[in-house]
Amino acid sequence: MRVHSCIGKAVALALLSVSVAGCDNPFASRPRSVDAESGSALSRAFYAARGGEPAWDGKARKQLIEIIDGAPAHGLNPELFLKGDLPDDDAEREAKLTEAALNYAAALAHGYADPKKVSEIYTVPRPKVDVAAGLAKALQEDRLADYYASLAPQTEEYRALSAAFVRNLKLANETGNGSAIPPGKAIKPGQRDPRLPAIATKLNANGYLEAQQAAPQNYSPQLVAAVRQLQTESGMKPDGVIGNDTLKALQSGPGDRGRQLAVNLERLRWLDRNPPATRIDVNTGGAFLEYWRDGRLRDRRNVVVGQPDWETPQLGSPIFQLVAHPFWRVPDSILEDELKDKSPAYLASQQMEYRDGRLVQLPGPKNALGAVKFDMRNDQAIYLHDTPAKALFGQPERHRSHGCVRVHDALGFALLLANDDGVLVNFQEAMAKPDEEGFVKLKKEVPVRLMYRTAFVEDGQVRIVEDVYGWDDEVAYALGYVRRPPRAKTKHAGGDVGP
């Protein structure tokens, strides 16, 4: 007996390079009873909830196969859950279907991969779902399809990334990634370039441009509009100029984009389905934060986050106090790497001095933490803060810090938080004393989630940005995608030594 349909085969051909079997009659007998003590812990819990009764009669079996065949809508390969022929033996077939059903439910409910195994640090709160009890109840109530449909995130963003994945999967099947376009001098609107026909072909293959009757001889307004759409979705300035970065984004191809979308669908499945209504979400891949207050988006602004080799970790960590005019206690790692050989004159010019054997930067215009620090509870000494390096917030590439999160107009953001928490007067009084470090505890801590995401929705549109940290590959490999050669990491010159 075989189990999979053509959509599973499409995923294999486009992205995973695995074979998927065709379809056969899903109806057969089932065992009269099941050994409830065998199988995985999930399986034992499932059969305990059913009183040891077998689950997969002909109707339920057919439904389950159809449900798992829909895994590509979630960026998942059906063969991760149900591969090859079903056994002829009733008990073995029952066991295989149960494991497939539970594993697929778990993948949708809280992710297929364990984020703590594919990430060096991961403390963001995760969903807690009893899939064994839920599956048993769904079978009892004959609502299997509804149950599986309820497990993945029910957000517009998840649906948008899913639709984008399916679209890129289709394009990958039809066109592949195509041949490379050589780098060269930037092409501006109205100019002529021998690479334009190849660029137009790739724009068409990637869904940005309708097919043209003849190869373009110059960089026309139609091509410019398509390039700007590509640049917007890739997190670049949509100026319409085809430079080497734009060519790189264009040549990633639908297969590469599909892979990246699948990774970020998985990251969304890792997240608690009911996060705190008041919270701060920092996307360290896209380098921006969103402040949610009572379930509504209150504020959104750019941030500067850790550069490669100083990556901002993925943390769940609350802000518990605001610090006005903070001292910067220089971490040993920064002291050793960047400041140990500096002269006393340099340290003095930066208002740095040793106190109790520790290098400290005093409050003032050169202080690396700026005017305000947002203290957080975590073991990695990561926090949000201001910075004197204001120009970085206007850059498209904002992975420039030593791991902490620099906030655009941090003072304005601190005033917003203080006002919402009812401690505005306390904070204003602390800010009125520029030579003193002032600590203002919040009445209610604000949860913060630091999350690395390289595909997301912004202004209603799916955006895919560069995997600056190189973290996508570990997740992709865990999902069954081919591992790529390790990418070289290059530190970005941030121009300062601040955290």
pLDDT along the chain (499 residues), means of 10: 42 40 36 62 93 94 97 97 94 95 98 97 97 96 97 98 94 71 90 90 80 75 90 80 87 87 98 98 98 97 95 98 95 84 89 89 94 97 96 93 97 98 98 95 98 96 93 96 72 67
User: What phi and psi values does residue 457 have, to the nearest 5 degrees?
Assistant: -105, 130
pLDDT at residue 178, as a whole number: 60
Instruction: Write the DSSP string, 161-200.
Output: HHHHHHHHHHHHHHH-S-------S-B-TT---TTHHHHH
Residue closest to 475 by CA, chosen among 258, 162, 264: 264
Q: Is there a contact between 112 and 266 (Cβ–Cβ < 8 Å)?
A: yes
**Residue 293 and residue 408 in one domain:** yes
Q: Is there a contact between 106 and 80 (Cβ–Cβ < 8 Å)?
A: no
Q: Is residue 374 part of a domain?
A: yes
Q: Is residue 61 part of a domain?
A: yes
**Residue 46 and residue 91 in one domain:** yes
What whole-number distance in Å separates Cα of residue 107 and Cα of residue 104?
5
Q: Is there a contact between 419 and 448 (Cβ–Cβ < 8 Å)?
A: no
Determine the Cα angle at 68 with ends 67 and 72, to 5°: 105
Q: Is residue 163 part of a domain?
A: yes
Strands 448-451 and 279-283: parallel
**Residue 307 and residue 417 in one domain:** yes
How many structural domains is the chain composed of?
A: 3
Query: Which of 155, 190, 222 is at the close of a domain?
Result: 155
What whole-number distance in Å separates Cα of residue 461 and Cα of residue 161?
10
Other CB atoms within 10 Å distance of the CB of residue 174:
10
What whole-number distance in Å separates Cα of residue 128 and Cα of residue 406?
32
Instruction: Give long-range contacts, CB 8 A cutoff, 24+ apart: 198-206.
Output: 199/223, 199/227, 199/242, 199/247, 199/250, 202/178, 202/250, 202/251, 203/227, 203/230, 203/250, 205/171, 205/174, 205/175, 205/178, 205/253, 205/254, 206/171, 206/175, 206/230, 206/250, 206/253, 206/254, 206/257
**Residue 168 and residue 149 in one domain:** no
Q: Is residue 381 part of a domain?
A: yes
What whole-number distance in Å separates Cα of residue 317 and Cα of residue 324?
20
Q: Is residue 349 part of a domain?
A: no
CATH of the domain at 322: 2.40.440.10
Token pair in block for residue 482: 């081919």
CATH of the domain at 197: 1.10.101.10
Instruction: Write the DSSP string, 425-443.
Output: HHHHHHHT-TTS-EEEEEE
**Residue 35 and residue 146 in one domain:** yes
**Residue 291 and residue 428 in one domain:** yes
pLDDT at residue 22, as a whole number: 33
**Residue 173 and residue 250 in one domain:** yes
Q: Is 361 helix (H, G, I), strand (E, B) or coil?
A: strand
Residue closest to 171 by CA, chosen among 242, 256, 87: 256
**Residue 395 and residue 424 in one domain:** yes
Determine the Cα angle at 94 with ends 89 and 98, to 5°: 150
Other CB atoms within 10 Å distance of the CB of residue 44:
15
Q: Is residue 70 part of a domain?
A: yes
pLDDT at residue 491, as a whole number: 59
Residue closest to 15 by CA, chosen among 233, 262, 205, 208: 262
Q: Is residue 459 part of a domain?
A: yes
Determine the Cα angle at 323 with ends 318 and 328, to 5°: 105
What range does the domain containing 430 cover? 276-327+363-464
> What is the three-state SS of 215-273?
CCCCCCHHHHHHHHHHHHHCCCCCCCCECHHHHHHHHCHHHHHHHHHHHHHHHHHCCCC
**Residue 164 and residue 73 in one domain:** no
What whole-number distance in Å separates Cα of residue 286 and Cα of residue 405?
12
**Residue 13 and residue 111 in one domain:** yes
Q: Is residue 94 part of a domain?
A: yes
**Residue 146 and residue 165 in one domain:** no
Q: Is 12 helix (H, G, I), strand (E, B) or coil?
A: helix
Query: Which of 134, 155, 176 is at the close of a domain?
Result: 155
Provide CB contacts within 8 A for 207, sequence distance 6+: 167, 171, 254
Q: Is there a contact between 226 and 234 (Cβ–Cβ < 8 Å)?
A: no
**Residue 36 and residue 141 in one domain:** yes
